[in-house]
Structure formats: C-alpha cells, structure tokens
Structure 1
Amino acid sequence: MPKKYLQRMMSKGARPARKPASKILWSVVGSFVGIYVMSIFSNSFSTQDSFFLLGSFGASAVLIYGAPEVPFSQPRNLIGGHVLSAIVSVFLVKSFGNLLSLELLCALSVALSVLVMHLTITMHPPGGATALIYVIGSEKIQSLGWIYPLSPIALGVTMMLIIALIVNNISNNTKRHYPTYWY
C-alpha cells in the first residue's frame, strides 16, 4: 500500500475532552427514563417479548440524550431516519424476499436506507439497524409487513421524541435544549 494512503489513517487532532458532569448526568437520566418508559409500554402490549424495545432505539437514546445538539439527533432525523429505513426494508423483503439471499437483503436494506436518508436529509445512524432488524427479524416481526414502519417504529420514536423534549429541556442550563431545529 502506498505510504500516502496509510498516512491518511493517522490522527489529525486530539480527542475531545470529557463532557461536564451535568451533561453526563442529564444524558444518563434521559437514557434511563426513555428506555424505561419504552420497556413499560412494550411489556404492557406483549408478555412474550419486548415488541417496542428494539436495539436501534437504544442507539437513538444515546444520540438524543447524549448528544441532543448534533444533526443526527434532531426530530426530523430521528423520525425520518427510522421510518424511511423501515419502509425500505419492508419494500425489499416484500418485493425480493424470495428472490435474493438473506445476505444480499441485509446489505441492500442498510445501503438503500443510507441512500434514502442522504437524499431526504434525515440521516440517523440507528435507522440502518431498524432496516436490518426487519430483514433478519423473526416471523412475528416480518408478519407486520407495512405496519412495521408505523408500529413499532413511528410510534416508538414518537414516544422517544416526547421524552427527549421533556428531559432535555428540564435542565436550568440554557445551552442544553432540544431540538436545535425541527425541519
């Protein structure tokens, strides 16, 4: 490999400093409350599994409570990224589920979700996981079909958004607010 290429992988700057204790505390409180409420809601609808508690929602909690100021965390990105990725994955499974291998469906669901999020300016990294969850999901998840983007996805992220609006704006710190923008 050319030396110039390998040099691009070297550090170009210093790592950022740790966030202040108050920001860390609010991030922990928000994540706890958000996932706890989602767990309660999920368990009230299903005793067999946590239907509304998806791994991609855990990743969203890290963003909307731990870094509420970044573009990935804004409501447009949170909702759009998840819902559009869910639509992509349902479309792929419904249209090509019997024609393509699982590996190809997995790769296409994430890649096309990234494309759609870029084109719609709704990039939210956990959206890729939302797409993948449907493709590799159980028969119960896949049986939802076109309901999947609405429930658990849209309903779940709306609940997380409401909790983020409450928790991220409780602080007396005027620099900690959410959202930075809606649209």
Structure 2
Amino acid sequence: MTALQALWQRLGPVSTRPARRELLRAALGAGLGMAIVGLLAWADRFAHTGLLFLFAPLGATAVLVFAVPSSPLAQPWNCVVGNTLSALWTLTLLHLAPTMPLPLSAALAVGGAIALMLACRALHPPGGAVALLTVLSAPSLLPLGWLLLVPMAVMTACLVLAGVLFHRATGRAYLHRPAAAPAAVASTSPKGSKLALSQGDLQTLLTRFDQSYNLTPDDLGALLAAAEEEAIQRRFASITCGQVMSSQLLTITAQTSLEAVADLFHSHLIKSLPVVDDKGQLTGRVLRADLFDWLWQGHRDQQQKSLWQRLRKPSSQRSPQAVARDLMREPELCVQESTPVGELLHELASHTVQFIAVQRGPLLVGVITRSDVIRTLLSINS
C-alpha cells in the first residue's frame, strides 16, 4: 500500500454510498420541505409582517430531517428547540454586551448555544449556525428584538412537519420515542429475532461509546440483532441440511390406521409424523395434537349416544376404518440435502414449525428439528 493510498484511507469518505432510492428520497424530501417553507416566506412578504423569512441554517436542518431521519439530532424536539434556544441565547448575549468584539461574541454565542442545547437535550448542529448567523447579521436581525424567535421556531417547525408527512408517505420511520426504562422488553430485529438486551442496556452502551447523539437505542438494538443473526447464518453457512438431519425416520403411509399412529406417538416423544407414499415421497404429515383432538371428539360422540346405539354399533368398529389420510395435513416445509442450515434458522425459531423435511430429489431422506440445530450449535462451540 502506497503512502497516497494510506492517506486516502485515513482522510477519504467514511460513510458508504447510499442506495439510489435513498438518495432520491432524501433529495426529493429536502426539496419539497424547503419549497414549503419558501412559500411561507414568500406569502409573508405580501402580508408585510416581516416575521417569516428563510435563514441559512434551515438548509442544514433539512439535511438532517430528510437524509438522516433516524439520528437523534434530527428529531422534532432537537430541530425546533435547538434552533430556537440558540437564537434566544445569542439575543440575550448581544443585548447584555452590545459592544463586545465580533470574534469574542461569535465564540461565546456558538459555545453557549451548544452548552444550552446539550443541557436541554436538544442538540442540533444547525443551532450553532443559527447562533453564528445572529451574530454576523446583528445589524439587520436585532431590530426584530425578541420577535426573532418567531421565524426560528415557526419555520423550523414547518420544515419538521413536512418531514413527518413526507417520511410517513414514503414508508420510512422518522419519529423516535425516548428510551424506555431498563425493564422494558428486549429489542427486536426487523425479522423478529429477540435481542437479550433491554432498552436501558442499549442506552448504557450508547453512552459508554459516546454515540448517544448518533443512534437511538432502537437503532442500536436493530443493528445488534441483525449482526447476531448474520453471524449465526455465516456460522452455519458451511453446514448443509444433510449433515444435520436425523436420517432414522419414523414414517407412516396414508393408509396407516390411526391405532398404529397412536402407538407410535405413545412410544416416541415426537409431535408429528411424516406421511410418505410407496415410493418414499413425502405427501403430508399427521400431528399428535390432531390425533388427540380426534380421539377426544370420538369419546364425546360415544358419551352422547344412547345405550341402544352403542349396542347396535360398537365403537370398536370405527377404529380400523380411520386411517392417517383422515387427519393428514400438507407438508410444512421441504428442503434439499445441499441447502445451508443458516437459511432455516428463522423458520426453526418459530414455534409453529414442527420439523423440516429433507429430500434427495423427490425422496424423503431425513428431518430437521430444533433439537438437531441445537446439537449442531453445541458441537461447533465446543
């Protein structure tokens, strides 16, 4: 690596290139937002109030609201309160020390605005620009007096409202709620995998690494959960379903009597049985719960019959006629032997999947249960 390449790695772009859709959404949203506040300023000229006007830091606020809406710095409280507090602090400073030299007043305005925003949990980078703008444009802005707070608050609020409506219309989350108490429910990733950290734990991590103003606890939780899921999938990427499956199969056919099915469920701690045809191809499954429901319904029917009905048609005559086809369901999920196990983790994590059938072509050669995956995971970690 040359010295120039090393310098580029240190000083070059850090953020990744955004997707085209996100680029267009940010540009379109910021343009629409600025057009709305621009129309308000234009309309105010005809009203002759002189209160609503465009100011440069609104452009920086638009960048945050429309390009990085998940940032804590871009939330409505930070935008409106941050800009307004910065203007309030600078006005107070200029009224208390009107003859202060420009370099000193600029330094105190920006530094004090940052401290005040931090104290009020309203840090907003354009607030520093509002403070500097007020100092540099004091001759034209000070005649407004305290009314200067009106355009800072109203125009920023209108831009934020435009951001809320735009992000809601385009399906992107913008408003973030404050972090819940430490006892809150653990965060989840978009796919629903639970992360064993509370909102309080996530907030502590953000504070520990000085990232409280870059990410929200929900964002960090989603990132950690996604990373955890990706790590597990990579760990299982080299393991195929054929290596994990249980090849010693207990199968039945569609003509197997329910008496025989009940004996199998009684003899083995299993919740379902695969149904195959005479060629060994999977055609369905029978659940233990369905069999119990069928037996209970038959018992209730017998109890409701009169003595004469029981004598004419004993219940024992019905059992040989009931076969697995009567309770058979469609196959739930089938994969080939070469399928990586990592692709099945989400399905196996749900409690609705009893087993995953593994096939060699059309033939059933094994099944995978949650126990098989746990056993494999323990062998990897040992």
Q: What range is the shorter-chain TM-score in? A: 0.7 to 0.9
Find the partner of 1:180 among 176, 181, 197.
176
Counterpart contact for 1:43–1:50, Cα < 8 Å = no
Shift of 1:11: 3.7
Aligned partner of 1:168 in structure 2 is: 167
Shift of 1:84: 0.7
Please tell me the residue identity of whatever aligns with 1:55: A
Q: TM-score, normalised by structure 1?
A: 0.84
Supply the RMSD in Å over aligned alpha carbons: 2.4
Counterpart contact for 1:74–1:182, Cα < 8 Å = no
Aligned partner of 1:114 in structure 2 is: 114
Shift of 1:13: 11
Superposed counterparts of 1:78-89, under 5 Å: 78-89=79-90
2:146 is the counterpart of 1:142? no
Larger radius of gyration: 2
Aligned partner of 1:126 in structure 2 is: 126
Aligned partner of 1:66 in structure 2 is: 67
Tell me: CA distance 1:114–1:138, structure 2 relative to 1, closer, same or farther (3 Å). closer
Q: Where does structure 1 differ by over 6 angstroms across 4 or more consecutive aligned residues?
A: 47-50
SS at structure 1 position matched to 2:168? coil
Please tell me the residue identity of whatever aligns with 2:94: V
Shift of 1:46: 2.6
Provide the rounded CA distance (Å) in 2 between the counterparts of 1:28 and 1:102: 36
Provide the rounded CA distance (Å) in 1 between the counterparts of 2:68 and 2:25: 10
> Which whole-Å deviations, capped at 9, do the CAs of 1:91-124 have from their partners, x for residues lacking one?
00111112x1122111110000011111111110
Tell me: CA distance 1:50–1:78, structure 2 relative to 1, closer, same or farther (3 Å). same
Provide the rounded CA distance (Å) in 2 between the counterparts of 1:133 and 1:77: 18
Shift of 1:16: 2.8
Aligned partner of 1:3 in structure 2 is: none
Number of aligned residue pairs: give it.
169
Counterpart contact for 1:74–1:181, Cα < 8 Å = no
Shift of 1:12: 10
Please tell me the residue identity of whatever aligns with 1:56: P
Counterpart contact for 2:52–2:155, Cα < 8 Å = no
SS at structure 1 position matched to 2:17? coil
Superposed counterparts of 1:6-17, under 5 Å: 11=10, 15-17=14-16
Provide the rounded CA distance (Å) in 2 between the counterparts of 1:40 and 1:161: 15
Percent identity, aligned pairs only? 26
Provide the rounded CA distance (Å) in 1 between the counterparts of 2:119 and 2:34: 30
The higher relative CO (CA closer than 8 Å, separation ≥ 6) is in 1
Please tell me the residue identity of whatever aligns with 2:96: S
75-84 vs 38-47, greater mean Cα deviation? 38-47
Please tell me the residue identity of whatever aligns with 1:35: M
Counterpart contact for 2:40–2:52, Cα < 8 Å = no
> Which whole-Å deviations, capped at 9, do the CAs of 1:31-84 have from their partners, x for residues lacking one?
101111111111222379995211100000001001000111011111111011
* Residue segments in structure 1 that go unaligned for 5+ positions in a row: 1-9
Shift of 1:14: 7.8
2:42 is the counterpart of 1:43? yes
* Residue segments in structure 2 that go unaligned for 5+ positions in a row: 1-8, 180-382
Which one has a larger percent strand, Structure 1 or Structure 2? 2
> Which whole-Å deviations, capped at 9, do the CAs of 1:118-176 have from their partners, x for residues lacking one?
11111100001111111111533111111112x2101111101110111111114xxx2
